[in-house]
Amino acid sequence: MSGTPMPAHTRRAGATVAARAARTLRGQVAVIGIGEGGYWRHGQSPDPEFKLALKAILAACQDAGLDPREIDGFASYGDDRNDASRLATALGIHRLRSATMQWGGGGGGCCAAVANAAAAIAAGMADCVVVFRALAQGEHGRFGQVSGVSTISGEKAYLMPYGVLAPPQRFAMRVQRFMHEHGVQQAALRAIALACYHHAQANPRALMHGRPLDAARYDASRWITEPFHLFDCCMENDGAAALVLVAAERARDFAAEPVYLLGAAAGAPHRAAATAHNAPDYGSAGYAAVAEDLWRMAGLGPSDVGSVQSYENFTGGVVMALAEHGFFRPEEANDFLILDNLVSPHGRLPLNTSGGNLAECYMHGLELVLEAVRQVRGTSTSQAPRRDAALVIGAPMVSPVSNLLLGSEATL
């Protein structure tokens, strides 16, 4: 009724939302350089993992026209093994001021690592931060292969005794639930795989460059675990990728066109890590609330995005993540996810325009962030017509997940 005081908890919640809106990374930080240390099939890198990381960082500094000794921070994720102090020593850095590692989620942290680096800069904890990821699976073992283990704990203790050993098996169950509940057909997954391979044919860096994929070959490929064919599953690779961030007011001092952080978010839904696959929202990529946070910070929405780089550990997760970011309702997936809609330059939503994890390189998703930077710069090998805003979605169906929206100076 009129004049009734607002409950205290409602006032507190409103104040919290307002305060969060005032604390933003939007437009405060820019990417000034990107680089790679080379990409190889798993086990075939000629260099150890630490050297790959250094090569990628030096390439990103060269792209920016930056003296590597000016770096004063590092950020990574996925339990990267390359210690920040050791990197600082090898690069001759004057002083290390920030070193952050995103917990959990594997490739789900690829965007959160960028957000952590940006937060360090915005808070004055560092001035020039490198985000990197390096993998040498020949040196440290394959992600996609289950070796002999003497003990198991946590989630695996509920799964491995019943033969659920590898990521495709674990994630297939969640995708099957989503497909069943919303009537999603196999053709939607196939369109995502075909789009990735299509874009890889224009990208000389892509490991699947020169190895096109068509619908007949996709359909004839062996099942890994239903609903995943061989070409629904990401590659396993060695390599490294890196990007350099500075405060926005410094961005124009460097050689490359700056790309600005418009929004970033990370997190997990209620009871996302409930054991034995008992999460309440089981048929989900985990992005519903995280997507809301991203759009709120950016002040933009799905219709403003010119291209999407979405982590494909498996194609089914991409379907779920795109729906949860508002590009279509789950029931519309079959109509939206057709090849013509997903390929540059004429598709409604160009997807994974460098080839992504499926066809460029599985660099734990950081290569997707580099491609988003290229899209905003206008230098992609499969350039989308609209380049002012490019979205990156980290690994779906893990916990926590993260996302990132990058934009041009015109979006500020």
Burial class (CB in 10 A: 0-12, 13-18, 19+), 35: buried
From CA 70, how far away is CA 61, in angstroms rounded? Answer: 10
Are 96 and 378 contacting, i.e. CB atoms less than 8 angstroms apart?
no
CA distances from 358 to 2, 197, 300, 305, 337 (A): 58, 7, 28, 22, 17
From CA 269, how far away is CA 217, in angstroms rounded? Answer: 37
What does the angle CA 143 – CA 149 – CA 153 come to, to the nearest 5 degrees? 90
Are 206 and 374 contacting, i.e. CB atoms less than 8 angstroms apart?
no
From CA 372, how far away is CA 49, in angstroms rounded? Answer: 24
Task: Tell me whether residue 260 is one of the annotated catalytic residues.
Answer: no
Task: Tell me whether residue 362 is one of the annotated catalytic residues.
Answer: yes
Are 234 and 358 contacting, i.e. CB atoms less than 8 angstroms apart?
yes
Q: What is the DSSP-derived secondary structure letter of residue 6?
A: P
DSSP 245-304: EEEGGGGGGSSSPPEEEEEEEEE--TTTT-TTT--SS-SS-S-HHHHHHHHHHHT--GGG
Say which of 39, 260, 287, 362 is annotated catalytic. 362
From CA 327, how far away is CA 351, in angstroms rounded? Answer: 12
Q: What share of the chain is helix, strand, coil (3-state, %, to 5)?
A: 40, 20, 40
Question: Minimal CA–CA distance to 263: which of 119, 102, 75, 71?
Answer: 119
From CA 112, how far away is CA 399, in angstroms rounded? Answer: 12
CA distances from 22 to 222, 327, 362, 389 (A): 51, 27, 36, 22
Give me the active site residues, please.
311, 362
